[in-house]
Amino acid sequence: MEIARGLPEIEKRVVVAAFLFAAAMLALLAYAAVRLGITVPGCVTNVKPFANGELIQVAPGRYEAHVVSKMFSFKPSPLKVPRGSVVDFYLTSQDVVHGFYIDGTDVNLMALPNAVTYGQAHFEKAGKYQVICHEYCGLGHQDMVGVIEVTP
Amino acid sequence: MIQKDLRAIILIELLLPLLLTLFGVYHGVLQVLYRAGIIQDVSFGGIGYYQGLTAHGVINAIVLTTFFAVAFGHAVISQYLDHGVSKTGAWTGFVLMVGGTLVAAYPIFTGRANVLYTFYAPMKAHPLFYFGVVFLVVGSWVSFWSWIPGYLRWRKSHPGRKTPLAAVGMFSAFIIWQICTLPVAYEVIVQLIPWSLGWTPGVNVVLSRLLFWFFGHPLVYFWLLPAYVMYYTIMPRLAGGKLYSDFYGRFVFMAFIVLSSPLGLHHQFTEPAISSGYKALHASLTFLVAVPSLVTAFTLAASLEYGARQNGGKGLFAWWARLPHFDPQRWLFPYLFMGLVIFVLGGITGIINASYGMASLVHNTAWIPAHFHLTVAGPTFLAILGMSLYLCAGLLGKNVAAPRAAVAVPYLWTLGTFTFSAGLFYGGLRGVPRRTNLGMSFLDSTSDAYRPDWVIGEYAGAVGGCLMGLSVLLFFYVLVRSLLAPASVPAADAFALPDSAAYHDEAAGVVTNFRPWVIAGIVAILISYIPPLVQVLSAGYPLAAG
């Protein structure tokens, strides 16, 4: 191979080691996806953008939350569900880009105008969860905090 | 030797952005104070938090880095390619870049462009902000084009010779820049400017974000590669040795041309419209771009070890002590070496960010600025400071005044960035958002949103940020004193960048030709970006007015 001609042995080993490192990282991603169920967040949904925020109970312990973000609040808020609930979040924005991070969960989404983003949370512990806008959205950005109340 | 007729351009292109950076750093220090709740207000000294945040990002990450890459590139091309910089091209680029910066400065400083440097639509800025950015970027293109005729002439007049490695590195940086700025130019010129002028009703937001992040990640390699040029061609010489492998230097620059672009979706894991498969592809390619950096770690460590052993270094690790860490004669060395030390942590946390399972924990939290202050504010910023001082003093024929203070700057900076980043990593894992005036809510003990568990991380951030600010003040003390020192004309005429010989000068032809690597890079972009682009366009999002 022309690339390798004239390369000292140690240098060949270095590039092989570097590729093996990248491959090991990929293997860990694959392991996480297959065995631990940690897949790439798709965030893709067929739900059309909506104008009103609402919480819909679809079955006992199963909810759908349609969340509207607008400078500088989330609606509905506070959002009350019982402990042990699984909530499907559908998120949109009525103005600029906002962030949607439910503290203490792995729901971390972007709210884009005219689009809907999807994420799911399991609420195993009772208590108040802050919902934090973590994308700069204007002068009141730091005040954009929602609440999810998980009742015992 | 560097072309005499380029001296004025290079000096202004170094000093003007550094002057602006004083303000950028001032607002960096203010930000950590706001965020720690020490300043609890929407503005301080007449400048709003988000206005200052915009200036901090635009000046430090775009203006300073772009001007520096052009100025350092002019010096490199002039020295290594037989004065190959076209004077007309260099002046045209210079006028566009300076003009663009001034045009963009007006709306930023008058508070009409509080959109941060990522200018996420539909957050709207004054049209002059977008025009200024366009002029700045086009000016950097023209400056790059001013090297091409000289490069072709050099190739013709030196048949069979390898292009000097430093020139290869600067061309790689600007080939990446030329490719990645095209989509963002489309975003700004076709989407944002007409909308900002009121000619179009809105913006396809999802498309604008795809175009922005096509640019946003290769941008970091444009920031890094001038520092890599210094690591490969200058640092081994300063260490008293040679570059361990010429082949790997070339391989690394070529690999970045291929790998730096097809991975921008790793900034968009949590967005709609784009399918998981392409997000996973971009995550995988992000791991691959670690390969050239890992190879760099080996080559540079081997080069430093060789130099240290020439200086009498012994043992498995004891040779580290034989590097010129504190030598005032070689004060530039710690600017490069400490940048690499910081980059070890910056690189590792980058791999964490690309792993999407982690991304949903840290996306848009303080973890992210903690990470990139270990990259762009680590190796890149230290290399810019060190080389700006080196070039300004050298081109004016002056000795660096207070070389001991010059040596202290990178150590103080490193201590500051480590403290700052430790605090922000800690906070980020606990949900602290980035780009947020925390002192008005989460770090205000009278607010409903108060988070006592965030205080300690933000205080560490404040201490670190203040140390970084002090380090920059010390740097300006050295710079100003050096500029005021007596000049020597013969010294200015004899000034050249240090050049490292190669320890292994391998005859490997495939890394001496840009063409196959550029073609591979374009193919990789087409494969990784056409399907997501089709997905975004076919989702048919209505325009958003903001």
Q: Could you read off the pLDDT of B471-514 as tens digits, one per residue?
A: 999 999 999 999 999 999 899 999 999 999 999 888 777 888 99
Residue B22 belongs to a domain: yes
Q: Could you read off the pLDDT of B421-457 as tens digits, one per residue?
A: 999 999 999 999 999 999 999 999 999 999 999 999 9
Do A90 and A23 belong together in one domain? Answer: no
Task: Residue B455: count other Cβ atoms within 10 Å of its Cβ.
Answer: 17
The phi, psi pair for A63, rounded to 5°, reads: -130, 155
Residue A48 belongs to a domain: no
- The larger pLDDT score, comparing residue A28 to residue B340, is at B340
pLDDT at B277: 85
pLDDT at A6: 63
Per-residue H/E/C for B129-143: HHHHHHHHHHHHHHH
Q: Is some CB atom of chain A closer than 8 A to the CB atom of B280?
A: yes
The dihedral built from the CA positions of residue B499, B500, B506 and B510, taken in this order, carries a sign that is negative
Instruction: Please list every residue in chain B whose beta carbon sits closer than 8 Å to the beta carbon of residue A11.
Output: 245, 247-248, 504, 506
Q: Is some CB atom of chain A closer than 8 A to the CB atom of B42?
A: yes
Do A2 and A66 belong together in one domain? Answer: no
Cα B36 to Cα B462: distance, rounded to the nearest angstrom: 6
Q: Could you read off the pLDDT of A31-76 as tens digits, one per residue?
A: 887 888 777 766 677 788 899 999 999 999 999 999 999 999 999 9
In the predicted structure, residue B535 carries a pLDDT above the cut 60: yes
pLDDT at A26: 85
Query: How do A145-151 and A79-82 pair as beta strands?
Result: parallel
Tell me if residue A108 falls in helix, strand or coil. Answer: strand
Torsion of CA B129, B132, B133, B136, to 10 degrees: -160
In the predicted structure, residue A5 carries a pLDDT above the cut 80: no
Position B298 confidence tier, pLDDT thresholds 50, 70, 90: very high
CB B75 within 8 A of CB B2: yes
Residue B430 belongs to a domain: yes
Q: Would you give the end-to-end CA distance of chain B in angstroms?
A: 53
Task: Residue B217: count other Cβ atoms within 10 Å of its Cβ.
Answer: 21
Cα B273 to Cα B206: distance, rounded to the nearest angstrom: 8
Note the pTM of the prediction, 2 decimals.
0.96
Q: Is some CB atom of chain A closer than 8 A to the CB atom of B35?
A: no
Residue B543 belongs to a domain: no
Residue A80 belongs to a domain: yes
Stretch B299-328: mean pLDDT: 94
Tell me if residue A131 falls in helix, strand or coil. Answer: strand
Residue B546 belongs to a domain: no
pLDDT at B182: 97
Cα B471 to Cα B478: distance, rounded to the nearest angstrom: 11
Do A10 and A83 belong together in one domain? Answer: no
Tokens of B515: 């063409």
Tokens of B194: 């007409």
Do A77 and A10 belong together in one domain? Answer: no
- Domain of residue A70, CATH code: 2.60.40.420
List the domain range (segments joined by +) for residue A25. Answer: 1-40
pLDDT at A32: 81
Bond preceding residue B122 cis, omega within 30 of 0: yes
Do A141 and A82 belong together in one domain? Answer: yes
The number of residues in chain A equals 152
Do A118 and A93 belong together in one domain? Answer: yes
How many DSSP H helices and E strands does chain A contain?
1, 10
In the predicted structure, residue A9 carries a pLDDT above the cut 90: no
Q: Which residues of B368-391 are buried (b: 16+ CB within 10 A; e: fewer)?
A: bbbbbbbbbbbbbbbbbbbbbbbb
Choose the closest CB to A134 out of B116, B364, B542. B364
Cα B99 to Cα B94: distance, rounded to the nearest angstrom: 8
Mutation site, A43, A98, A117, A128, interface B, largest B CB count within 10 A: A43
Task: Residue B311: count other Cβ atoms within 10 Å of its Cβ.
Answer: 14
pLDDT at A1: 41
List the domain range (segments joined by +) for residue B83. Answer: 4-538
CB B108 within 8 A of CB B51: yes
Residue A47 belongs to a domain: no
Residue B48 belongs to a domain: yes
In this predicted structure, which of B168-177, B178-187, B469-478, B530-539 has the lowest mean pLDDT?
B530-539
pLDDT at A67: 97
Residue A86 belongs to a domain: yes
Q: Could you read off the pLDDT of A97-122 as tens digits, one per residue?
A: 999 999 999 899 999 999 999 999 99
Tell me if A117 and B271 make a contact (CB, 8 A cut-off). yes
Do A23 and A62 belong together in one domain? Answer: no
Cα A66 to Cα B352: distance, rounded to the nearest angstrom: 31
Residue A49 belongs to a domain: no
pLDDT at A42: 65
Residue B47 belongs to a domain: yes
Q: Is some CB atom of chain A closer than 8 A to the CB atom of B270?
A: yes
Q: Could you read off the pLDDT of B78-118 as tens digits, one per residue?
A: 999 999 999 999 999 999 999 999 999 999 999 999 999 89
Cα A5 to Cα A11: distance, rounded to the nearest angstrom: 11
Q: Would you give the end-to-end CA distance of chain A in angstroms?
A: 67
Q: Average model confidence (pLDDT) for chain B?
A: 95
In the predicted structure, residue B177 carries a pLDDT above the cut 70: yes
In the predicted structure, residue B347 carries a pLDDT above the cut 80: yes
Say which DSSP state B4 is in. G
Q: Is some CB atom of chain A closer than 8 A to the CB atom of B544?
A: yes
Stretch B317-345: mean pLDDT: 96
Secondary-structure breakdown of chain B: helix, strand, coil percentages, each rounded to the nearest 5: 70, 5, 25
Do A4 and A63 belong together in one domain? Answer: no
Q: What residues contact B136, with CB distance under 8 A and at least 6 apart? A: B62, B63, B66, B96, B97, B100, B101, B104
Closest CA relative to residue B247, chosen from B175, B162, B304? B162
Total domains in chain A come to 2
Cα B141 to Cα B137: distance, rounded to the nearest angstrom: 6
Do A111 and A144 belong together in one domain? Answer: yes
Stretch A126-140: mean pLDDT: 96
- Domain of residue B414, CATH code: 1.20.210.10
Residues of B noted as catalytic: 217, 221, 371-373, 434-435
Tell me if A29 and B431 make a contact (CB, 8 A cut-off). no
Mutation site, B34, B162, B205, interface A, largest A CB count within 10 A: B205
Do A67 and A127 belong together in one domain? Answer: yes
Stretch B320-329: mean pLDDT: 96
In the predicted structure, residue B12 carries a pLDDT above the cut 70: yes
Residue B362 belongs to a domain: yes
Residue B515 belongs to a domain: yes
CB B273 within 8 A of CB B536: yes
Total domains in chain B come to 1
Q: Is some CB atom of chain B closer than 8 A to the CB atom of A78?
A: no
